[in-house]
């Protein structure tokens, strides 16, 4: 496994981040435990979760599974850089969601309890809160850092200007601010190349892409359909709309002699701003197989061909849309 630093921090994390969103809803606890053990065996030390995963309001289903795995001991917690998130509604009362100081404090305490740990390595704001001032957010986060309950702060689903506002407010408080941003990024979803990636680069944030396979769209979905496997109902409309692109994409990967999922992951990994794409395996085979992406390299012609199949926004702003 390759390791790198999380943005400008000194924290070393694996180049893959194990996503746990399937744990509970799609992956049994027993299988989740096996996948996490295998991740450590492969050298993956970076795990990502969220208090809302499991999708039962206030229950923290996935965090509880990860916590019970930590509780088995054997160095599981000590070997893991655990990232979780705050923002989603965790109850029916007014302050049980978003990023007011009250919810940040209560959500952190609840996550610590579920995760069976005394600190969160990377505490990520799951979304921008347009109704809470940065002075309040940073004051609440500073307290958690001072108490040793949180080590690093991250964002998720922020626009470039949200990152700038957050960092300038943190700078005024002589606080480190954001260490990372977690955004949707894949060949199919390249919008963050416009402003988010440049902001991460300028402020020294690590970038943690989620959905690097576009929910499976880039993972050889047409071949799977030919083999008799059904595409997810929510993906069928997009498959139909992008069928021509997908046919060219899968032919390209076949000619390269690689599985489409591995090629898509390798493309994300080649971006120097990317710290670690999140992989969310449902099986042990998917987890082990993802390592192939580290060995895939691209020629200039291949990169050009991928840009033709999956065009981005045209580069960075403002040149992407102006002179």
Q: What is the C-alpha separation between 88 and 323, in angstroms, rounded? A: 40
pLDDT greater than 80 at residue 230:
no
Which of the four pLDDT bands, split at 50, 70 and 90, describes residue 14? very high
Return phi, psi of residue 167, to 5°: -70, -35
Which pLDDT value is given to residue 283? 80
Hey, which residues does 182 pair with through a beta bridge?
A: 156, 208
HSE-CB of 214 using CA atoms within 13 angstroms? 21
Tell me which long-range contacts 290-297 makes (C-beta under 8 A, separation of at least 24).
290/16, 290/261, 290/262, 290/265, 291/1, 291/16, 291/42, 292/258, 292/259, 292/262, 293/262, 293/263, 293/265, 293/266, 293/269, 294/2, 294/15, 294/266, 294/269, 296/258, 296/262, 296/263, 296/266, 297/266
Using DSSP, state whether 237 is helix, strand or coil.
helix
Domain 3-215+261-300: give its CATH architecture. Alpha-Beta Barrel (3.20)
pLDDT value, residue 313? 97
Catalytic residue among 53, 123, 185, 203: 53
**Tokens found for residue 312:** 């981005």
Q: Clarify whether 53 is annotated catalytic.
A: yes
What SS3 state is found at 90?
coil
| Contact status, residue 70 vs residue 322, Cβ threshold 8 Å | no
CB contact set of 13 (below 8 Å; sequence gap of 6+): 3, 4, 5, 6, 45, 46, 81, 206, 275, 276
* 3-state SS, residue 86: strand
Peptide bond into 318 cis (omega under 30): yes
> For residue 316, what pLDDT is reported?
97
Dist. CA 295–CA 265, nearest whole Å: 11
| pTM of structure | 0.96
CA distance 321 to 191: 13
Q: Which residues, 6 or more positions from 209, have their beta carbon under 8 angstroms from its beta carbon? A: 182, 183, 184, 185, 186, 268, 274, 277, 278
How far is CA 94 from each of CA 36, 90, 98, rounded to the nearest angstrom? 35, 10, 10
| DSSP tag of 27 | B
Domain ranges of the chain: 3-215+261-300
- Looking at residue 285, what is its pLDDT? 84
Name the burial class of residue 218, with classes exposed (0-12), middle (13-18) and buried (19+) by CB atoms within 10 angstroms of its CB. Answer: buried
Residue-wise pLDDT tens digits, 126-157: 999 999 999 999 999 999 999 999 999 999 99
Average pLDDT over the chain, rounded to whole? Answer: 96
Let me know the angle formed at the C-alpha of 186 by 182 and 187, rounded to the nearest 5 degrees.
Answer: 160
Kindly report, residue by residue over 264-281, the tens digit of the pLDDT. 999 999 999 999 999 998
Tokens of 133: 């001032």
pLDDT at 281: 86
What is the DSSP track for 140-207?
A: HHHHHHHTTSEEEEEEES--HHHHHHHHHHHHHTT---EEEEEEE-BTTB-GGGTTHHHHHHHHT-EE
Q: Which of the four pLDDT bands, split at 50, 70 and 90, describes residue 228? A: confident
pLDDT band at 263 (very low <50, low <70, confident <90, very high): very high
């Amino acid at each position: 496994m390759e390791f790198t630093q999380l943005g400008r921090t000194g924290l070393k994390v694996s180049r893959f981040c194990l996503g746990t969103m399937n744990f509970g809803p799609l992956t049994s606890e027993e299988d989740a435990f096996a996948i996490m053990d295998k991740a450590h065996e492969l050298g993956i030390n970076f795990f990502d979760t969220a208090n809302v995963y499991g999708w039962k309001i206030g229950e923290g289903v996935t965090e509880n599974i990860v916590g019970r795995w930590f509780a088995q001991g054997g160095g599981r917690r000590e070997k893991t850089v655990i990232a979780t998130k705050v923002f989603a509604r965790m109850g029916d009362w007014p302050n049980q969601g978003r990023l007011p100081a009250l919810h940040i404090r209560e959500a952190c305490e609840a996550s610590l309890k579920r995760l069976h740990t005394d600190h969160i390595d990377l505490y990520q704001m799951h979304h921008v809160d347009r109704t809470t001032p940065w002075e309040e957010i940073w004051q609440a986060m500073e307290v958690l850092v001072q108490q040793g309950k949180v080590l690093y702060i991250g964002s998720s689903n922020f626009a470039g200007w949200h990152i700038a506002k957050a960092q300038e407010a943190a700078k005024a408080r002589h606080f480190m601010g954001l260490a990372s941003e977690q955004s949707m990024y894949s060949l199919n979803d390249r919008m963050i190349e416009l402003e988010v990636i440049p902001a991460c680069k300028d402020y020294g944030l690590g970038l943690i892409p989620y959905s690097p396979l576009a929910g499976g769209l880039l993972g050889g979905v047409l071949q799977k359909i030919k083999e008799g496997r059904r595409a997810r109902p929510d993906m069928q409309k997009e498959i139909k709309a992008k069928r021509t692109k997908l046919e060219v994409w899968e032919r390209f990967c076949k000619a390269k002699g690689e599985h489409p999922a591995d090629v898509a992951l390798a493309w994300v990994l080649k971006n120097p701003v990317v710290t670690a794409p999140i992989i969310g395996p449902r099986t042990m085979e998917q987890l082990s197989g993802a390592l192939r992406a580290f060995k895939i390299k691209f020629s200039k012609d291949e990169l050009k061909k991928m840009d033709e199949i999956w065009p981005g926004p045209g580069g960075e702003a403002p040149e992407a849309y102006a002179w």
